[in-house]
Amino acid sequence: MNLLEIRNLKKYFATQKAVDDISFTIEKGSIFGLLGPNGAGKTTLIRMITGIFYPDEGQIMLDGRSFDPTLDVVNIGYMPEERGLYKKMKIGEQAVYLAQLKGLGKQDATKKVKEWFIKFEMESWWNKKMEDLSKGMSQKLQFVITVLHEPKLIILDEPFSGLDPVNANLIKDEIYNLARRGSTIIFSTHRMEQVEEICDHIVLVNLGKKILDGSVQQIKQDFKEHKFSIQLSEPPAASESSAFDIIEQKQNRLVVKIREGHASNDVLQYFLHQQATIESFHEILPSLNDIFIREVEGTKSETRAFQKL
């Protein structure tokens, strides 16, 4: 079942089509990657999903119903890329306040904030002020504030920036936990290795349009270049074949590209014929990073900061 369904969403600013006819669906409980270069329209898209902007055209369906910004506030948790909290306000009060703004009662909010603070070993922070926290600490706090009210849809924009590996893992585990408990997560980032690791499904947008949509595995398959890596026990005697080209060779290790009309078994057969011992053989799939760069490169993506209104 789909938690979020976006149909032909459009948002035009005076001189730019920030979001130009984008549609996709997100399955309930999945971790969804929203990718794109700076200025691709990600933030505008997210702001429409969080109800900050109204779309010019198109529809957003949340949990089978048409999305209503006022009612659905409590169903969404949004952690923007540029984050910040009140500097002079005590952390505990701040977390409770923001949870109340989401629609939680005061007691309920206080209880939940305390639970999360214990979970993240932040109990001693309650009376500290925001300005006394390090960047990593405030990041953790921001994450807690985002997920506190157990929203159905959690939107995280670059959640790991500024975190050390220990805290990054803590948050990552928590993201998996949330997904397991039924929350759906939209994850927006530039860091492709994180996307490959975490996301089930991705959408790549550029210049306001959707370029790619699919599961990580599917997309990698779609972009595969039929490259294989072979390790032999000793360097091959001959390496001329009609089935493949050698792209790289380091002693007994080769990277080959299979020609049109041939299959991976042709490569194995060729080397088996030579009586070579094959130690390993596996396909090289392109990294999301490569795909991302290939798809985006050459297009004139403009950052929002310089766009004219």
Partner 1 sequence: MNKIGLIIQREYLTRVRNKTFIITTLAMPILIAVLIAGIILIAVKGKEDLKVAVLDNNGFFKGNLKSGTDLSFDFPSGVDTSNYLDKGYSAILILPKFDGTPKTQYYIRSKKSIGFGTKQAIEEKINAAIEDNMLQQVGVRRNELDSIHTLSRFAELQPVVEHGNKTEESNQELAYGIGYTSGILIYITMLIYGMMLLRGVMEEKTNRIAEVIVSSVKPFELMMGKIIGIGAVGLTQFLMWIVLIMVLSGSVQFFLPHDVMQQVQALQRNGGVMPGGSIMQASEGAQKFYGITHALGTANWPLLIGCFLFYFLGGYLFYAALFAAIGSVVEDVQNSQSLSLPVTMPIIFSFLIMSVVVYNPDTPLAVWSSIIPFSSPIVMMTRIAYGVPGTVPYWQLILSMLSLVAGFLFTTWLAGKIYRTGILMYGKKVTWKEMIKWAMRK
Binding site for partner 1 (CB under 8 A): 47, 50-52, 69-70, 73, 76, 78-80, 82-89, 97-98, 100-103, 145, 304-305, 309
Task: Give the nearest distance from C-beta 119 to partner 1 in angstroms.
Answer: 21
Task: Give the nearest distance from C-beta 167 to partner 1 in angstroms.
Answer: 20
Task: Give the nearest distance from C-beta 102 to partner 1 in angstroms.
Answer: 5
Nearer to partner 1, 76 or 267 (CB): 76
> What pairing do the DSSP bridges indicate for beta strands 244-250 and 76-79?
unpaired
Task: Give the nearest distance from C-beta 54 to partner 1 in angstroms.
Answer: 11
Instruction: State the Cα–Cα distance between residues 93 and 102, nearest whole angstrom.
Output: 14
Helix (H) / strand (E) element for 113: namely helix 106-119
Nearer to partner 1, 51 or 208 (CB): 51
Nearer to partner 1, 3 or 85 (CB): 85
Q: How far is CA 22 from the centre of its chain?
A: 17
Task: Give the nearest distance from C-beta 249 to partner 1 in angstroms.
Answer: 49
Q: Is 124 helix (H, G, I), strand (E, B) or coil?
A: helix
**Neighbouring-strand partners of residue 297:** none
Which residue in 124, 109, 111, 186 sits closest to 153, CA to CA?
186
Residues sharing a CB contact under 8 Å with residue 173, sequence separation 6 or more, in sequence order = none
Task: Give the nearest distance from C-beta 129 to partner 1 in angstroms.
Answer: 11
Which residue in 251, 222, 227 sits closest to 239, CA to CA?
251
Residues sharing a CB contact under 8 Å with residue 68, sequence separation 6 or more, in sequence order = none
For 69, the token pair is: 């910004």
Task: Give the nearest distance from C-beta 208 to partner 1 in angstroms.
Answer: 18
Residue 250 corresponds to which amino acid?
K
- Count Cβ atoms below 10 Å from residue 306 Cβ, excluding itself: 7
Task: Give the nearest distance from C-beta 188 to partner 1 in angstroms.
Answer: 14
Task: Give the nearest distance from C-beta 262 to partner 1 in angstroms.
Answer: 53
> What pairing do the DSSP bridges indicate for beta strands 201-206 and 65-66?
unpaired
Nearer to partner 1, 89 or 276 (CB): 89
Nearer to partner 1, 238 or 309 (CB): 309
Nearer to partner 1, 70 or 275 (CB): 70
Nearer to partner 1, 88 or 300 (CB): 88
Residue 159 DSSP label: T
Nearer to partner 1, 101 or 278 (CB): 101
Q: Is 254 helix (H, G, I), strand (E, B) or coil?
A: strand
Instruction: State the Cα–Cα distance between residues 129 and 138, nearest whole angstrom.
Output: 10
Nearer to partner 1, 40 or 79 (CB): 79
Instruction: State the Cα–Cα distance between residues 297 and 305, nearest whole angstrom.
Output: 20
Contact 68, 77 (CB under 8 A): no
